[in-house]
Chains A and B, each alone.
Chain A
Amino acid sequence: MPFIPHTKEDVAEMLSRIGAENIETLFDEIPSDLKCGRLEKVPPGLSEMEITRLMMKRAEMDGVYQNFIGAGAYEHHIPAAVWQITTRGEFYSSYTPYQAEASQGTLQLLYEYQTMMASLTGMDISNASMYDGASALAEAALMAVRSHKTSRRILIPETVHPIYRRVVRAIVSNQDIDLVELPYCKESGQILPESLDDFAKEEFAALVIPQPNFFGVLEQVDALTDWAHANNALAIGVVNPIALAILTPPGEWGNKGADIAVGEGQPLGIPLSSGGPYFGFMACKKSLVRQIPGRIIGRTNDMDNKTGFVLTLQAREQHIRRSKATSNICTNQGLMVTAATIFMALLGPEGLRRVAAHAHANTLDLVEQLEALNGVKRVFSGPIFHEAVISLPAPAQAVLQTMKQQKILAGLDLQEHYPSIGNTLLVCATETKTSEDIQNYIQQLKKALNA
């Protein structure tokens, strides 16, 4: 019996002690008309050898491609130690650290994570993580509305990841919160601070500021943050954690700094793995600490005055507050954060800076060589981090298909999300790409365009 250790003798002894004739007797409180028959659609069990063969066969069907797609999920080198330590049973198979004395490993690690994320984002505090970047942004919007009290509207630029906008809409619309979309400058690919003038008379709980934005372009974060504050709105930064190794952290934007910083934590040591599990991060100013959702770890002492760590501010959470909680969320993405913390420790400030700078340089290199091709143009003039939108002189889908046959995923076609944008690709070359990889991309694209 897979994963059940009971011998026949065990079962007999246990039943006799319970005073039950057989196992079925134990279900005698369930009305018999509710009991189901056999699970016909569940196939018979496989041995470990058989499931290994099946999973390997299916993995081979998927193959391996040179990936130049970013768009919110980025391929970075993950040091070997990260997942070897993360999948140790003591991390992998433990649960929420409710019994603090028996969970100091997880608790201390989360405190270290909070410290790293607070510093990376330039904020006072960080929670112990959220589900993913998109849902973290939704939670930030809810948090802004809770703390604003009078406005239930959020100003969100079209340069924010289109899927994030959908997720935020799906979540916040339950609470009658309006999302007002802010158009971008078609030339620079940014939000122009002057475009906000139209909204100055209206009241907003928050302005969302992506850095870099979905097009890879860097926004004028100082002016945008100051506009939010001048208009009595919170500034919510949506940031890439790798980029923060070189970019001004949200806590230092404008005169007062952004109020909340959120983002997708995946670039910090989490494999792409079809979109999850990833983790969202959320950091904020001290003044918002009682509004922040999710788990938070605090440092304290034990009875002998030794330093230790506990879950704290639980009075915000659903298991205490029930219907009055800040959110219904009751987990973080513990294991993902374990990996991210080890990743950040291994890379350190200089390692992380190098990853960011190299990814930036690679993408600039790719874009420069692309621009040299006939009819290929960079679409936006704004400065970029490690992604760019390029326009093609041929249908994007056809080009992607041809490139795919050469085992290259050449980028993301933006047509679906920005119907008027034309034949464009969002491309990304992280530090994982060598100059030969970039050369190969250019050669193959040349062929694809001439085909």
Chain B
Amino acid sequence: MLIFEHSRPGRRNHSQSPATSAVADKIPQNLLRKTQPLLPEVSEMDTVRHYTRLSQMNFSIDTEFYPLGSCTMKYNPRACNSLAMLPQYLARHPLAPEDTGQGYLACMYDLQEILKDVTGMAGVSLTPMAGAQGELIGVMMIRAYHESRGDKSRTEIIVPDAAHGTNPATAVMCGFKVVEIATDKEGNVDMAALKAAVGPKTAGLMLTNPSTLGVFEKNVSEMSRIVHQAGGLLYYDGANLNAVLGKVKPGDMGFDVIHINLHKTFSTPHGGGGPGSAPVGVAERLLPFMPVPIVGHEDGRYYWVTEKEKPQSIGRLSAHMGNAGVLLRAYIYVRLLGRDGMHRVAEFATLNANYLMTALREAGFELAYPSRRASHEFIVSLKNIKEKTGVTAMNLAKRLLDKGYHAPTTYFPTLVPECLLIEPAETESKETLDAFVVAMKEILTEIEEQPDMVKDAPHTMPLRKLDDVKAARELDLAWKPHSE
């Protein structure tokens, strides 16, 4: 039932809106609304029950194991939320003077410094509001760098075919042409393809390392050399930073610009798909182009660094300083982890991934890259199972829901057929991983014994398989009172 269907004309929550007789009679008639908007007229209790009930229809980290590859679904510590929601932080207006926000700015400055150390970059700006915006800002800085040198011939960005779709989409949004390069059998970027792709038109290479195939690009230093020699810059997509946090710094791998998904590696909430937050880090030569504002610190005072101090900045990509409240949560998280905790993140994420990979291989699942170590994630392919039984990766994913597990990422990366990208974050215990293996084994047996049942999954969710084709063909994007 929709909230609108609980609505009764005239019902209202008297305590939550002002007791006022104010009317807008000074506003010209033609500017005034003639009909009331379609908002529900429901009591507070109806509202609370309705949305509580909806929440119960979600899988979440707080309720289920959520091994969604490439998304780093780790536990979100409660303290990060409650402390970021202290009244003073919530009440602070973004345009309030600096001296009324020294506490908040101190947290942001500290976070910048910590992220610099963790990534090995010379500067960090916290403004990007999501991974894709971090990418956009990164590529904009690459463009600004070349243009500042009068080098306008660099029109191409090289992207491996295993990359997230945001990489090529971002390059295009930034006015570049995308050159895709292939992956070799071991899951590394094909070095011959890279060498053939670089040239005087190369503005940069966007690379995720470890890659979305769940393996570390061993040749990263060589790649860096090739791209730099051709005059291009190296972009690090930090989507998989959790795998190497405290082990390898992107700056040491030769990257010129990076983004960090705080909602992955730094445990800020995924919130049903946002808000994200993706600070960018830059090497020395890109410092002048960083997006503003940045937080500066001098003589015990914190202040905004803006366009005035950074005239070559690519500018502002959000009205203020990005997703400030998300940044606070990340800050609290890094302080709770501390130095030692930070080193442990990649260690235990990698331990969990390799353990689960081993256990699933022993259970009879086929790995996409059996000769490689898993990073913090790995890929299982159902290609042979599909050929034999017709059961697909998506079928297995839906069946996992029945068993109380969120599905791994399916059909990404696209170059591995019938793939499941599995990422058990470091916050999961051995018992949880063992229980997941049991469930996966059960499904393997079910696939042999009753494949049709698996194909029709899920069976225990509030709804059965949903019709995507109908949704796209008969678009119904907003409820109308007469549509029932």
Contacts and interface: CB of A to CB of B under 8 A. Distances in A.
A221 B77 CA distance: 47
Nearest to B362: A17
Contact of B133 (A129, A131, A299, A344): A131
Contacts of B135: 328
Given A99-B406, A106-B58, A124-B478, A34 B248 contact: yes
B275 A336 contact: yes
Interface string A27-45: 1111101111011111111
B42 A383 contact: no
Nearest to A219: B31
A101 B464 contact: yes
B373 A273 contact: no
Interface residues of A, number: 197
Interface in B28-78: 28, 30-34, 36-42, 44, 47-48, 50-52, 54-63, 66, 68, 71, 73-77
Interface stretch (A47-55, A180-188, A196-204, A436-444): A47-55
A247 B323 CA distance: 29
A396 interface: no
A351 interface: yes
B39 A345 contact: yes
Contacts of B200: none
A134 interface: yes
A93 B427 contact: no
Contacts of B58: 90-91, 94, 102-106
B139 to A, nearest CB: 8
Contact of A302 (B4, B221, B267, B463): B463
B373 A29 contact: yes
B396 to A, nearest CB: 12
A298 B475 contact: yes
Interface residues of B, number: 195
A385 to B, nearest CB: 8
Contact of A300 (B12, B247, B314, B476): B476
A119 B39 contact: yes
Contact of B27 (A81, A218, A264): A218
Contacts of A26: 347, 350-351, 354, 373
A18 to B, nearest CB: 5
Contacts of B321: 274-276
Interface in B388-433: 397-398, 401, 406-407, 409, 412, 426-430
A36 B252 CA distance: 8
Contact of B270 (A28, A94, A167, A320): A94
Contact of A400 (B97, B120, B220): B97
Contact of B91 (A64, A91, A297, A313): A64
Contact of B170 (A96, A264, A317, A328): A328
Interface in A227-279: 244-249, 252, 264, 271-279
B317 interface: yes
A5 B429 contact: yes
Interface string A349-378: 111111111101100100000000000000
Given A44-B340, A325-B165, A346 B13 contact: yes
Contacts of A51: 79, 83, 332, 335-336
Contact of B319 (A132, A218, A361): A132
B39 A133 contact: no
Contacts of B27: 218, 246-247, 360, 383, 385
A98 B372 CA distance: 28
Contacts of A128: 273
Contacts of A150: none
Interface in B340-355: 340-344, 346-348, 350-352, 354-355
B341 A45 contact: yes
Which of A1, A65, A102, A276 is packed against the most chain B CB atoms within 10 Å? A102
B166 interface: yes
A322 interface: yes
B37 A334 contact: no
Nearest to A301: B467
8 contacts: A15-B351, A29-B218, A92-B81, A246-B27, A274-B92, A278-B319, A299-B479, A306-B464
Given A85-B51, A90-B62, A133-B319, 17 more contacts: A31-B221, A36-B120, A51-B332, A51-B336, A93-B73, A102-B58, A102-B59, A104-B54, A119-B478, A132-B318, A134-B316, A272-B92, A277-B277, A323-B178, A331-B131, A344-B39, A347-B16
